[in-house]
Amino acid sequence: MSTEINMFEHILPFIEPLATASGVGFWRWDVREDQLMLSSEAIKTLGCDASNAPKSLAQLRDNLLDSEATDTDQSLLDCMSGKTDQYRSEFLVNKKDGSSVWLSMIGIVVEKDSAGLPLVLVGIAQDIDHSKRMELQLKSNVDELNLISQISGLGIWDWDLQTGIINHNENYIRMLGYDPETFNKSTDIVDWEDTVHPDDQQDSIADLQAHIQGKTDHYSRDIRVKNCKGEYIWVNDIGKVLEYDQDGKPMRVLGGYLNINRQKRTEYMLHNALKQIEQHSASLQMQVDERTQDLDRTKRNSEALYNANPHANTIYNDKLEVIDCNPAALDFFDLPDKQAFFDHFKQTLTGFIPARNADGSLKLTMKDRLKFTVDHGFMNFDTELMIHKDMVPVNVTLKKIPYDDSFAIAAYQVDMRSLKKAQNDLERQDRLLGTVNRVASLLMSADEHNFANQLQTSIKMLGEEVQADRVYIWQNHMVDDVLCCSQICEWSGSAEPQQGNELTTNISVDDVMPSWRETLNKDKCINSVVRHMVPVERKHLEAQSILSILIVPIFVEEHFWGFIGFDDCADERLFTAAEENVLRSAGLLISAAMIRNDMTTRLIQVSKDALAAAKAKSTFLANMSHEIRTPMNAIIGMTTIAQNAKTKQETEQCLSKIQGASKLLLGIINDVLDMSKIDSDKFELAHEPFSLQRMLRDVTGIHEARMREKHQHFSVHLAPDAPNALLGDEIRLSQVLGNVLSNAIKFTPEQGEISLSISKLSEENGICELQFSVKDTGIGIQKDKIADLFSAFSQADSSISRKYGGTGLGLAISKSIVESMGGHIWAESVPDVGSDFSFTVKMLRTDDTNLEHNNVIQADNVDFSKIKVLLAEDIEINREVVMALLSPTGIQIDCAENGLQAVEMFKMHPDRYDIILMDIQMPVMDGLSATIEIRALPLPRAQTIPIVAMTANAFAEDVQRCREAGMNDHIAKPIEMDEVLNKIARYTQS
């Protein structure tokens, strides 16, 4: 023991200089004898001198150590019990001069007894008073900041840009619903992305990077973060760069999350129409890791967050004096700096606060409210401040918080103007919705008779509700393939009406409103001040005294139908998005009501037209029955008379009348079939070369006999410049001209006059427009009856059909034919004076060389006795008629009763026949199939033998099918003897 002490004493002089230089004292404690040896630096650290330095641990405890520190020195107890070989303790030492210092002692066991208990300890002692007191001050400040953070609900984050680590305080962890004891307070950027809503990440990162790059003073954004339940809550995320490296590169960002979920839910309840209300922010709380440097950093962080708060914050001491404010408070109360704020805030605030409430009662003074907060710890109230002659609604929160050894009161003032405006906008929107509902009810109850008045009332209601000077509805329409729009309805309050003038009628959208079409087609509104619009639009609108305008597009069945407009002619303004949406709904309601009314009106008209058409068809059927039965009666009656005739002359007279009646009946049937084709859109025109002069001779030749019977004077005038060779449908043109001439002959009395004139109106690129006019001195037509002439199933006067006969289809068919030829037909008439029926057609001029004048073979010059015909016809009487008609010519005829039999007969004797006359509709095998079979036979004659259809299938599509099957030509039933002989001569003699 003495050796060890001597060794300690021996080396002590060498250690002493080192201890003095480092401020570290050495000690040795002999546990058995409770002897304590101290170096001079250790004695100095204890505030003693060599004469009164403690010689034992007991003396140290009794004279110098703080009793609480000694009692709680668990480390020494553990060392003395043999649990550990090291001893470490910090305690407060009472110096002789009455002061106290914090001392740190560290020791190790250098000698133990056989039981392992310590016998000798050696160690060092060091004055840590400065750092310990700084640590305690720091802890006090941290506790204060934690309290402020808890009061404000602020969660703190600290982002180290070099490592990417983000540290959070416990308030942030509690905000998300986690247990601070088990939750990892440190995360990285990946964990951050997993917590923040995907839709908010991009904008948040962009704003934060902008601040880090020095583009903004601080970072602030509302984002959604995921809590422990997997739900997203809204927070106001704010931050500021606090540390930079020597190159000025940001190293550390400090920020905080303020829970604003309740406010956000309020915004959504207001239909997303309210602006974001920035949240109350509180003093910054900071967890520090380093002692002196962390304390300084904590102060800077607190100041940065306090200064970044967008709301006015003020702090009062326990004497209710202003001791601090943030920059937002300076701006809010219009004071230049903090000193001015401290000096003049009370009188400024007094001037801002009205003496009485809106109901006349006295207001509580700010001093009264502060005293209430001192007594109760918290107060929140709404008030109004008179700032720059405007009453500004403010929400004030007062909180009592610990401050030094006393307390302070933190005041948070939130400008409520935006919230109040949003509430007012919502109330206005509700009123507008109510008006729209009343408009809907009004229009739904309107019928076609009072709809116009109800519509006018509706737009007036909308105009008065939104305080517009003018409301109108425009509808789109096409004018010469140009999109135009016209105003169809208008209400004007204090503005000059514009309905029907040149500024509101047939306005070209692209010329007058070039930017509107694209915008409105995208279902977007035009909400603008007129002076900000393009010059051409500004000119058109300013001419109507419009200062600002809202245009809401109207779509019907996904097509841009038009728009509803609202004008301001006294003041400029912009409508809110909510108002746009409500007025868009109003536009749809109005357009739907207009369409419904239009459909109702049209349905009523269609119903009337249908009744009229039904009556006309009934009259037509009665006329048709009369027209068909008349020639049928003649045919049956003359047949009976012919059967009983006693002389050949009587028989021939009967047969002649039967033939005339049959042709009349065929004409009626042809008219009905033509009308049927027109109604089913199967009406087609041929395009073949023909001679106009020859066509005129043929048509007039047919009617000359009838005109001679009535001793009528007839003249034809063909203009010299009218072309002769034309390309078109000669038969249909003849039909129209024949119908007009037939009517003129029918309704012109004996000795009357009829004239036909043909003139060329124009010619362009070889297309000639020709006009045909037929004038007569007949009975004439009433002017109001002329329009009915060209309608199917109607005649100008029912008495006419009884007196003159006719189906009433001829002119309707003629109208369809003429319009298919690019022309039109009309009539002018004076009763008892005469009528002038005219029509135009367009046809292509062609060469005379295209006309087949010399290709027509005359049947009179053909020896038919040498011609052999194969006739395929399934009906016996039809075979008898053909054989009887052709018998006088000497033609040799073999008959087949169906298509299959005709094919077999041709296969057996392919060279026997010169021509095949083929019916179409036959049993076993029809005529088309039989023709295809014959053309497919491996016989030379199968490809060249003429096959002519002789059938009742007489439509153009029937002729086309015949040609497609391989037939050469077509003859329609009932057959004309001359036509049959001409076709046989043409195909057997060529």
Confidence class for position 937, pLDDT limits 50, 70, 90: very high
- Whether the CB-CB separation of 760 and 718 falls below 8 Å is answered with no
Tokens of 974: 């009932």
Q: How many residues does the chain have?
A: 990
Question: What's the confidence (pLDDT) of residue 275?
Answer: 46
Tokens of 687: 């395009």
Kindly state the average pLDDT of the residues 341-353: 66
> To the nearest whole percent, how much of the chain has pLDDT over 90?
16
Q: How many other β-carbons are positioned within 10 Å of the β-carbon of residue 570?
A: 14
**Distance of alpha carbon 361 from the chain centroid:** 54
Decide if pLDDT at 526 tops 80: yes
Decide if pLDDT at 668 tops 60: no
State how far the alpha carbon of 180 is from the alpha carbons of 171, 176, 466, 847, in Å: 8, 10, 54, 104
Nearest to 574 by CA among 425, 459, 437, 473: 425
Question: What's the confidence (pLDDT) of residue 446?
Answer: 72
Q: State how far the Cα of 753 lies from the Cα of 745, in Å rounded to an integer.
A: 9
Decide if pLDDT at 556 tops 50: yes
- Residue 753's contacts (CB-CB under 8 Å, 6 or more residues apart) are 712, 713, 714, 715, 775, 776, 777
The C-alpha torsion from 321 through 324 and 329 to 335, rounded to 10°, is 80
Give the CB-side neighbour count of residue 799, counting CA atoms within 13 A. Answer: 2
Decide if pLDDT at 330 tops 70: yes
Question: What's the confidence (pLDDT) of residue 841?
Answer: 93
Give pLDDT tens digits for 468-513. Answer: 999 999 889 888 888 899 998 899 988 899 988 998 999 998 888 8
Nearest to 810 by CA among 842, 833, 839, 768: 839
Q: State how far the Cα of 378 lies from the Cα of 373, in Å rounded to an integer.
A: 5
Q: State how far the Cα of 212 lies from the Cα of 188, in Å rounded to an integer.
A: 17
Confidence class for position 442, pLDDT limits 50, 70, 90: confident
Three-state DSSP class for residue 196: strand
- Residue 290's contacts (CB-CB under 8 Å, 6 or more residues apart) are 297
Strand-pair partners of 951: 972
Q: What is the DSSP string of 793-806?
A: T--S-HHHHHHH--
Place of tokens 């540390």: 243
- Residue 343's contacts (CB-CB under 8 Å, 6 or more residues apart) are none
- Give the angle 863-867-869 at the CA atoms, nearest 5°: 145
For the ranges 171-175, 201-205, 907-911, the one whose mean pLDDT is highest: 907-911
Tokens of 339: 């000193």
- Sign of the alpha-carbon torsion through 351, 357, 360, 362: negative
Strands across the sheet with 559-568, in order?
Answer: 507-508, 482-492, 470-479, 559-568, 548-556, 526-529
State how far the alpha carbon of 366 is from the alpha carbons of 394, 404, 436, 861, in Å: 13, 24, 46, 131
Question: What's the confidence (pLDDT) of residue 802?
Answer: 46
Nearest to 738 by CA among 712, 763, 765, 772: 772
Give pLDDT tens digits for 31-69. Answer: 888 888 888 777 877 778 777 788 887 777 776 665 544
Task: Pinpoint the alpha helices (H) of 748-851.
Answer: 798-804, 810-820
- Does residue 923 have a cis peptide bond before it, meaning omega lies within 30 degrees of 0? no
Strand-pair partners of 29: 36, 121
Question: What's the confidence (pLDDT) of residue 541?
Answer: 92
Three-state DSSP class for residue 533: coil
- Whether the CB-CB separation of 821 and 839 falls below 8 Å is answered with no
Give pLDDT tens digits for 610-653. Answer: 676 666 565 555 555 545 655 565 566 667 767 777 787 777 77
Question: What's the confidence (pLDDT) of residue 872?
Answer: 93
Average pLDDT, the chain: 78
Give pLDDT tens digits for 219-278. Answer: 888 889 888 888 888 888 888 888 888 888 898 888 888 888 777 777 666 655 444 434
Confidence class for position 358, pLDDT limits 50, 70, 90: low
State how far the alpha carbon of 80 is from the alpha carbons of 29, 31, 108, 359, 836, in Å: 12, 9, 11, 78, 141
- DSSP state at residue 710: T
- Give the angle 35-41-45 at the CA atoms, nearest 5°: 85
**What residue type is assigned to position 846 of the chain?**
T
Nearest to 672 by CA among 631, 620, 636: 620
Strands across the sheet with 868-872, in order?
Answer: 892-896, 868-872, 915-918, 947-951, 969-972
Three-state DSSP class for residue 621: helix
Strand-pair partners of 551: 526, 565
Three-state DSSP class for residue 626: helix
Nearest to 569 by CA among 539, 532, 529: 529
**Distance of alpha carbon 259 from the chain centroid:** 36
Task: Pinpoint the alpha helices (H) of 558-711.
Answer: 577-643, 648-679, 692-709
Q: State how far the Cα of 402 lies from the Cα of 424, in Å rounded to an integer.
A: 40
- Residue 869 dihedral angles phi and psi, to the nearest 5°: -115, 135
> Among 86-100, 101-115, 553-567, 743-757, whose mean pLDDT is lowest?
86-100
- Whether the CB-CB separation of 844 and 727 falls below 8 Å is answered with yes
Would you call 579 exposed, middle or buried from its count of C-beta atoms within 10 A (0-12, 13-18, 19+)? buried
Give pLDDT tens digits for 944-972. Answer: 999 999 887 766 677 888 989 999 988 88
Q: State how far the Cα of 226 lies from the Cα of 859, in Å rounded to an integer.
A: 102
- DSSP state at residue 857: P
Question: What's the confidence (pLDDT) of residue 857?
Answer: 54
Q: State how far the Cα of 356 lies from the Cα of 369, in Å rounded to an integer.
A: 15
> Among 417-426, 472-481, 886-895, whose mean pLDDT is lowest?
417-426
* E strands present in 777-899: 825-830, 834-845, 868-872, 892-896
Question: What's the confidence (pLDDT) of residue 283?
Answer: 40
Strand-pair partners of 46: none
- Whether the CB-CB separation of 432 and 466 falls below 8 Å is answered with yes
Nearest to 40 by CA among 27, 56, 58: 27
Q: State how far the Cα of 534 lies from the Cα of 16, in Å rounded to an integer.
A: 92
**What residue type is assigned to position 256 of the chain?**
G
Q: What is the DSSP string of 338-355?
A: HHHHHHHHHHHHHHHS-S
Decide if pLDDT at 567 tops 90: yes
**Do β-strands 250-259 and 390-403 pair in parallel, antiparallel, or remain unpaired?**
unpaired
Give pLDDT tens digits for 852-870. Answer: 544 445 566 788 888 999 9
pTM: 0.36
State how far the alpha carbon of 900 is from the alpha carbons of 307, 873, 895, 948, in Å: 107, 11, 12, 17
